[in-house]
Each structure stands twice: as structure tokens, then as C-alpha cells.
């Protein structure tokens, strides 16, 4: 089958890597000539935000999917009209890629998500009490396009572009759950993971699994995933990022209509990975088991401050000596501060051992330049 | 690093698949334009038996390795002279690729292997008692170039080309062990697997791990692996195929200087696979853990009799519904009787459950043509 992917980054790369177990042809579209997928797929250099480019790329494929949501969804809708299968469908991509529509979607389907107000041009009266978080309608990614307004003073920083402002949740834990639905309507959910963010970079830092939650929290989460999977009404693999607040209530922070950083530890920690599941969704195959094998955790390899240029993974050889430690690099030649260059998965027999190993590994390796 | 592989078949494909976790560039050389590696590496169509072709292919690589042993070893020796690293080295490839030299190698290093006699042109007096097996000096592969001579009558079938004739072992079990050695001299051994052959096709059929052997047999095997790893004196990953006879003695049947079909179940059954280990050998990195996770087994997907042409995997969708069952296809478009098209790995909690699952899966899937 001819499978086209909009985006040629690490998520596409790991999807293709996993799917090399099967016999499909992968095609990728990315503006960067040296994108991580460029040499393991039939690669087209081009802009996945451009209507004609996406239409041309997709028209001769059996199915088109995405590994980034900031793509031209109108072109995907036209491909659907022309009979090309698009996974997930263009409607849900369009909804999720715009924060305003995404928040309206939660409201419509009664999915708990923080209170919000829409900002169109900054002239509207702000009724949301302080403090609040402002998220740009489009273009937000990895902490970009997000700011917190804490004081009256901060109002002057309010962006005047289409955006949402949301009440701040008093966060106890950040959780994530990856869910999948195939065309036949079969659904599967990965075990919930806990994300531990690095406050400086606002990039996911550790991600661990399983997480022990009380029955009530478990119930809230399964209600959310159920409502979400019914509401999307599209085949797809989705990451639902959740806040558990200090009063034990679960809120949807945001969702992604694609493979997600918070699912990487599934590569060795689960019976099947999010990448295997995504492949099965794209091909409408029976969905894979998502059982946990053991305690697993992931840490991102992010370009160190003050280093830009040809990448060196300082300390890598020592990391490779550690048992049950799996290095995943993304085939990017150049590092820069904060750039996601790879990740490391770690397995352990207990949560304590896991945290100890993750902290140890984090201290052993640095992503620097020559 | 620029890594060149002679051969572009499934072993190379799975090596590259596994090594996509790292940042190297893979180059492959194979006579078939649609070889399994052709679209996931920088591919050169050419004959890996041709001196000039191999020399040209290898001269600008940092390291050259093989995924098939029937390659031009003289060209590899010349590449070594020119300063290109060759893994395993040309000497051991040359030794193993010729059955006569391979048998002499075992004798020299006191590695137990069935008694043998060399046949150069068939004119020599056969002193080996009947029955015996004849193996062609070169070109034997997957059961080709091997025959059993049972009676005086059968003598007329004796091949008159360079070959060895070996005494037949009264086989209790066929075992295999995959061993690795890096340039630093570090060595690691995978757990022993048991191969259960299909007598009709003489292609490895099931391969299961772990195998429970008595202490004496274990001791014989570790002595063999130790002697072998000392004797090869080259970095490399090697498969040592063993016979355990009915009197409890272990014999080396043959060895391969490369990744091997009998190591495929390590993909999901071991903490690291033979492919990860091979990558580490090629790069002279610390070798990976080889611990067993659980009971694992592999069955080959082989083209059914009477079917040649565009492949269909009949029953595949039902196999994908089974838990802890992993399909690995090799990206070959055309099937023919006996062609290795893929394999399926299965995990289980006991040997009984494993055998049950393997037999069930074998009955569910057929490799046929359109």
C-alpha cells in the first residue's frame, strides 16, 4: 500500500521504522531536505501547509496521514473528496489544529477542559479572572505560542491575535493517554503515563509508565477517553494530555491528532508501541495489545544551551553500557538549543529504580555541538 | 558513520531497521534491483561476488560488513589493506564461506565437529563409513548443496566437485547460539535456541528459546563458544549451529559469520535483538544485554508449493488479532515455493503455551500468490 505522511520528522521516522516489518511503501513530505525521513522513504521536499503541494503529494496515495497537525487541512478535505483515505480525517485535524475550535469541541462534547474565553483581536473585555494562560489559535508547538498572564501589569503582554485564554489549573500531575480507533470502530487505549516537565524548556522531560491513580481518577480518565473517541468519529491515533488537579479532578489540557512524545516509552515498555498501533490504524487492521511489560520511562535528548552545529552526544558510550536502556536518535545532523534530537527509554522493576535510572542517565549524556 | 553492507536481503533490512535508532548512513549492494534494502538505504545494484564491484562499493565507507557470506573476500582483503574496516574480517569470511576450510578450522582449534573427509574431484577413495552427508565446498545455502549418501547404491550420486563428506550425527536436538565479539575484545552470547526443522523444505521452521539443557550440555556449549570466539580473532556476530546427539554430546554443524535466521526471535524475546548486537559490533560499541524476557519462538513464512507471483499472506489479519504475536515481512513482492518471505515471532509464559501458539499460527497463515 502507498502510504503518504505529511511531515518527515522523528514521529514519521519511528512510524516507518516500526512499519518496516510490513510491506508498504512510505512517502513523506517535508520542507527540510534533510528531514529525518528523507532517506528511508520516497521523499518530497515541499511545504505541507501549501494547498497545491499537499494535493499533488496525496492524490496518488492509498492513504494519507500526518505526523504534525499544522498541515493544510483544506487540501486533505479535497483529497477525501477525490477518494483518497485520510487518517485522521481532515475535519478532526482542522478542529484540533486551531485552539479555539479544539476548546469548542470539548465544550460541545462535554469533555472537561479548563474554562476559557476566546480572544479575536485583543479588543474584547477580558472576563477570565487572573491568573490565566493564553494560547495562540494556531502555530503553538512545544511551548511556543503559550504564555501565562499573572497580574494586571501583565495585561500589556496579551497577544492581540486569535487565541484562547484559559483558567490555570492547580496541577498535581500531568498525565497523558494515547488512544486509537480504526475505521471499523475498534478502539484501544494505552496505559496512562505521567509527564514530568522541565520548567525551563517547557519541553516534555521524563515520561513514565505505569502511574498509580485512585479509582475515581481512573474512572474520570476512562470517561474522557470514551467521550473523546466517540466525539472524534474518525480513525486515528490521538494523544490526550491531561491535568490532574490538587482536588482530584481530571481536565483535558490539549489533544494531538497524531503520534506523541508522551508515547515513546511504549517502544520497549509495552507489548506494542504507539508506532505499531498507528500503522494498524492507518491500514484499518485489528488494533494491537497495549499492555505494559514493566516500569518504563523516557527522557528527551534536547540540544544543550550554547551549542549549535554538528551534533555530538557526549557520554553516549557509557549510556550504552547500561542494561535495559535504549537510545533512539532522530537522524538530525545539527543541534541547537532546545531542539529534540532523540530520546532514551529505560526499563526497571519498580518506580523507584526507574526514577533513579532516569536521573542517572540524564546526568550522563549531553547534546552538544562539535 | 558510513556503513556498507554486502547483500541487501532481509538480514540487512532488519539490521538497518534496528539501527534507525542511531544516526548512521547505510549503503547496500545487491544484484536484485528490488532487494529488501533497496528503498531504506543508499542502494547500489551490483554483484557482491565481483572483485571490482565490491572494491568500488567499499572504498569510501568507514566500515563494510556482510549479510550473506558468499561475497568476494579477496576484495574485502584489499579494502582492509586500503584501511577500510571490514567486520567480520576477510580472513574469517573466507574460511567460513568454504566448507573445506571451515571444517579444517574446527579441527585446528579443537572445536568438536563431525568427522569428515575432503572430496576434490570424486576420484579419491571414500573412507568415510556409510551413511554420510556431502556438502559442497561453496554455494550451499538453505539446504541447497547438501545431500545424504545412505547406501552403496547412492555412491553414483556423489558430487564430483570440491566438497566435504561428514559422518551423520544421531541428532537429539538441533541448537543454535549467536555470539558476538567487538573490536575491543568484549564478547556476549545469546541464550541457546532450539531449531525444529521442517523435513520437507530443509528450511528452519520453528526456533524456540530458552531451551533447558543439562549442566553437562551447557558446559560443552560454553566451551565451544569460548573456543570459537578465541579462534575467529575478529570482531563479528556469528551463528553457531549445533547438534546435540542422543548420547549427550554437542557437535558444531556449521557456523555463519553473520546475522542468522535462528536469532530472529530475539527481536521481541530478548532484552536486545541480534540486530542491535550486530550494529554495536560494527561500530565497536559496548555490547548489548542478551537476556531472555520470556518464552519466545519464531516460525518462518515460506512461499507455499504451487504458488509463484505477487505475494498474498492469506490469514494475516487473523494473526494480527493474536496477543504477543509479531509479524515481520521482508518487503519481497514476489513469492515462489520455499522462498523466505517473512517470519512471525510469538511470546508465551511457558514452553507448552509457546508450542501451542506456534502451531496455531502456522495453521492460520499461508504465503500464496495472486
Q: What are the tens digits of pLDDT across the range B212-242?
A: 999 999 999 999 999 999 999 899 999 999 9
Alpha-carbon span A252 to A207, nearest angstrom: 17
- Chain A CB contacts of B323 below 8 Å: 271, 289, 291
Alpha-carbon span B250 to A278, nearest angstrom: 46
- B17·A17 Cβ contact <8 A: yes
Tens of pLDDT, residues B300-353: 999 999 999 999 999 999 999 999 999 999 999 999 999 999 999 999 999 999
Model confidence at A142: pLDDT above 90? no
Alpha-carbon span A26 to A4, nearest angstrom: 6
- Binding site annotation covers A203? no
- Chain A CB contacts of B327 below 8 Å: 21-22
> Which pLDDT score is estimated for A198?
66
- A40·B20 Cβ contact <8 A: yes
> Which pLDDT score is estimated for B1?
94
Strands A63-66, B309-314: pairing is: unpaired
> Which pLDDT score is estimated for B203?
57
Mean pLDDT for A249-262 is: 97
- From the number of C-beta atoms within 10 Å of its C-beta (0-12, 13-18, 19+), residue B198 rates as middle
A29 and A44 Cβ atoms separated by less than 8 Å = yes
In B, minimum Cα distance to A332 occurs at B23
pTM for the structure as a whole: 0.95
Residue pointed to by grid coordinates 542502494: B43
Tens of pLDDT, residues B57-84: 999 999 999 999 999 999 999 999 999 9
- A285·B320 Cβ contact <8 A: yes
Minimum-distance CB partner of B289 among A21, A289, A324: A324
Complex ipTM, two decimals? 0.93
Mean pLDDT for A336-353 is: 96
All three cell numbers of A329, joined, read: 536518535
Tens of pLDDT, residues B172-227: 999 999 999 999 999 999 999 999 876 665 555 899 999 999 999 999 999 999 99
The radius of gyration of chain B from alpha carbons, rounded to an integer in Å, stands at 20
Question: Which of A91, A54, A202 shows the shortest CA–CA distance to A140?
Answer: A202
> Which pLDDT score is estimated for A268?
97
Model confidence at A134: pLDDT above 60? yes
Q: Which helix (H) or strand (E) holds A310?
A: strand A309-314
> Which pLDDT score is estimated for B105?
97
The minimum CA-CA distance between B285 and chain A, rounded to whole Å, is: 7
% helix / strand / coil in chain B, to the nearest 5?
A: 30, 35, 40
All three cell numbers of B99, joined, read: 566448507
- B329·A289 Cβ contact <8 A: no
B275 contacts chain A (CB < 8 A): no
DSSP-assigned letter for residue A270? B
Minimum-distance CB partner of A317 among B286, B289, B311: B286
Alpha-carbon span A214 to A260, nearest angstrom: 25
CA separation, residue A368 to residues A34, A200, A322, A336, B309 (Å): 19, 18, 21, 8, 51
Q: How confident is residue B144, by pLDDT bands cut at 50, 70 and 90?
A: confident
Minimum-distance CB partner of A21 among B41, B42, B329: B329
Q: Which domains does chain B have, with CATH numbers?
A: 2-87 (3.40.50.20), 115-167 (3.30.1490.20), 170-291 (3.30.470.20), 294-370 (3.30.470.20)
- A320·B20 Cβ contact <8 A: no
Q: What are phi and psi of B177, to 5 degrees?
A: -140, 135
- B23·A332 Cβ contact <8 A: yes
Minimum-distance CB partner of A323 among B22, B289, B333: B289
Size of interface A-B (CB pairs under 8 A): 71
A60 three-state secondary structure: coil
A322 contacts chain B (CB < 8 A): no
Minimum-distance CB partner of B23 among A289, A320, A329: A329
In B, minimum Cα distance to A27 occurs at B39
Model confidence at A245: pLDDT above 90? yes
Question: Which of B318, B299, B295 shows the shortest CA–CA distance to B358?
Answer: B299
Model confidence at A196: pLDDT above 90? no
A312 contacts chain B (CB < 8 A): no
Q: How confident is residue A295, by pLDDT bands cut at 50, 70 and 90?
A: very high
In B, minimum Cα distance to A283 occurs at B317
Amino acid at each position: 500500500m502507498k502510504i503518504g505522511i505529511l511531515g518527515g520528522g522523528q514521529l514519521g521516522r519511528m512510524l516507518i521504522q516500526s512499519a518496516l516489518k510490513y510491506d508498504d511503501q512510505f512517502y513523506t513530505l517535508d520542507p527540510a531536505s534533510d528531514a529525518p525521513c528523507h532517506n528511508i522513504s520516497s521523499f518530497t521536499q515541499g511545504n505541507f501547509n501549501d494547498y497545491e503541494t499537499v494535493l499533488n503529494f496525496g492524490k496518488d496515495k492509498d492513504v494519507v496521514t500526518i505526523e504534525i497537525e499544522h498541515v493544510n487541512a483544506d487540501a486533505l478535505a479535497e483529497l477525501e473528496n477525490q477518494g483518497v483515505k485520510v487518517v485522521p480525517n481532515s475535519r478532526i485535524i482542522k478542529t484540533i489544529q486551531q485552539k479555539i475550535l479544539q476548546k469548542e469541541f470539548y465544550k460541545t462534547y462535554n469533555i472537561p477542559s479548563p474554562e476559557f474565553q476566546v480572544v479575536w483581536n485583543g479588543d474584547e473585555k477580558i472576563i477570565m479572572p487572573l491568573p490565566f494562560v493564553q494560547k495562540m489559535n494556531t502555530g503553538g508547538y512545544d511551548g511556543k505560542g503559550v504564555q501565562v498572564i499573572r497580574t494586571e501589569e501583565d495585561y500589556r503582554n496579551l497577544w492581540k491575535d486569535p487565541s484562547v485564554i484559559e483558567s490555570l489549573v492547580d496541577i498535581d500531575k500531568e498525565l497523558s493517554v494515547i488512544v486509537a480507533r480504526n475505521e471499523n470502530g475498534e478502539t484501544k487505549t494505552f496505559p496512562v503515563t505521567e509527564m514530568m516537565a522541565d520548567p525551563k524548556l517547557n519541553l516534555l522531560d521524563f515520561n513514565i509508565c505505569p502511574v498509580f491513580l485512585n479509582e475515581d481518577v481512573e474512572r474520570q480518565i476512562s470517561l474522557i477517553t470514551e467521550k473523546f473517541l466517540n466525539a472524534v468519529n474518525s480513525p486515528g491515533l490521538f494523544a490526550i494530555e491531561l491535568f490532574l488537579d490538587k482536588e482530584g479532578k481530571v481536565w483535558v489540557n490539549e489533544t494531538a491528532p497524531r503520534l506523541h512524545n508522551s508515547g515513546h516509552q511504549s517502544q520497549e515498555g509495552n507489548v506494542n508501541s504507539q508506532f505499531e498501533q498507528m500503522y494498524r490504524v492507518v491500514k484499518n487492521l485489528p488494533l494491537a495489545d497495549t499492555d505494559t511489560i514493566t516500569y518504563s520511562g523516557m527522557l528527551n535528548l534536547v540540544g544543550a544551551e550554547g551549542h549549535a552545529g554538528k551534533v555530538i552526544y557526549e557520554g553516549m558510550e557509557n549510556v550504552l553500557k547500561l542494561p535495559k536502556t535504549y537510545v533512539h536518535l532522530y537522524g538530525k545532523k545539527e543541534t541547537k538549543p532546545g531542539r529534540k534530537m532523540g530520546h532514551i527509554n529505560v526499563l526497571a522493576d519498580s518506580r523507584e529504580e526507574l526514577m533513579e535510572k532516569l536521573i542517572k542517565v540524564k546526568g550522563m549524556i549531553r547534546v552538544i555541538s562539535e
